[in-house]
Amino acid sequence: MSIMSTEKIERGQSVYISEYSECRLCGRSCGVDRYKNVGFCNMPADIYISYYYLHQWEEPIISGTRGSGTVFFAGCSLGCIFCQNRKISRGRNGKEVTTDELADIMLELSGRGAHNINFVTPTHYSPSIKAAVSAARSRGLDIPIVYNTGSYDSIEALRALCGTVDVYLADLKFYLPKTARALAFSENYPMIAKGAIDEMVRQTGEPVIEEGLMRRGVIVRILLLPEHIAEAKLTLKYLYSRYGDKIYISLMNQYTPMKDVPPPLDRPVTREEYRQLTDYAERLGVKNCFVQEWGTASESFIPDF
């Protein structure tokens, strides 16, 4: 069965989506029937949302002046050991909603002035997102859709989102398979993420910025981890060599150590580590680049889900 041969059967306000019956939406491609069981993401086919609000702390071209209409989904297909959102990424923490209710949330956020709708950790719910966005568009939603992902998305799942997503806000978390294996149990992450970002750029093309806000395009984030400066530089060089200024790159110093993580992840990054990364970006000639002010590594920036 092709995972993207989507069959949708209306069941009241819910929608049956065949991709969940043999789920291969992420790089783990576990094939579990999420109507009966769960895979690594620990989530069923039912949509669980942990939180939604106007987010002021994304990149300036995403948050703007009024905020990004951000929807946090429960569960995660990646499971980084240092995750700062582990309250929601590790399980079914949140409220179950239908696709129609998800559309209602989008329209509510738009009505509150959101510049866009920003889906966080969306990979394992991408077919439901597509259905909900279609419903919201039919009811008047006219702001961009941001897909805020760890990039552990299958190519097929992303292709199905072509025409649904306007902006990809993606991570390239690990460049080396051994790092991905140690920190996220996913040795194939670099291969999957690179292919996913290729597909994102193919869909969106050159960035479109209007009145200081991204209307279309790709932003790729590099979260600097302590004692991982060499790998962060490899990641940066790869992205700029491959895409040049067809994407924006966001260099992040906000790593916040959670309890029980092993050294060196038990400390924030240093000013010197981050300076080395930003200096390297300057030497490479990166123009479309965001850097963070110092002092963002704080649990005060982590919403209490």
Give the pLDDT confidence score for residue 275 in this predicted structure: 97
Question: Alpha-carbon Rg of the chain, whole angstroms?
Answer: 18
Give the pLDDT confidence score for residue 296 in this predicted structure: 66
Scored b (16 or more CB within 10 A) or e, 6-34 reads eeeeeeeebbebbbbbebbbbbbbbebeb
How far is residue 281's CA from residue 287's CA, in Å, rounded to a whole number? Answer: 9
Q: In which residue ranges of the chain is pLDDT below 50?
A: 1-13, 300-305
Residue 126 phi/psi, 5-degree rounding, is -60, -40
What ranges do the domains of the chain cover? Answer: 46-301
pLDDT tens track for 213-268: 999 999 999 999 999 999 999 999 999 999 999 999 999 999 999 989 999 999 99
Residue 219 phi/psi, 5-degree rounding, is -115, 130
Give the pLDDT confidence score for residue 297 in this predicted structure: 60
- Do the beta carbons of residue 189 and residue 178 sit within 8 Å? no
The pTM of the whole model exceeds 0.85: yes
- Do the beta carbons of residue 169 and residue 147 sit within 8 Å? yes
CATH topology (fold) of 46-301: TIM Barrel (3.20.20)
Closest of 234, 213, 212 to residue 222, by C-alpha: 234
How far is residue 263's CA from residue 283's CA, in Å, rounded to a whole number? Answer: 30
Give the pLDDT confidence score for residue 276 in this predicted structure: 98
Burial (Cβ within 10 Å: 0-12, 13-18, ≥19) of residue 212: exposed
How far is residue 85's CA from residue 254's CA, in Å, rounded to a whole number? Answer: 13
Give the pLDDT confidence score for residue 14 in this predicted structure: 61
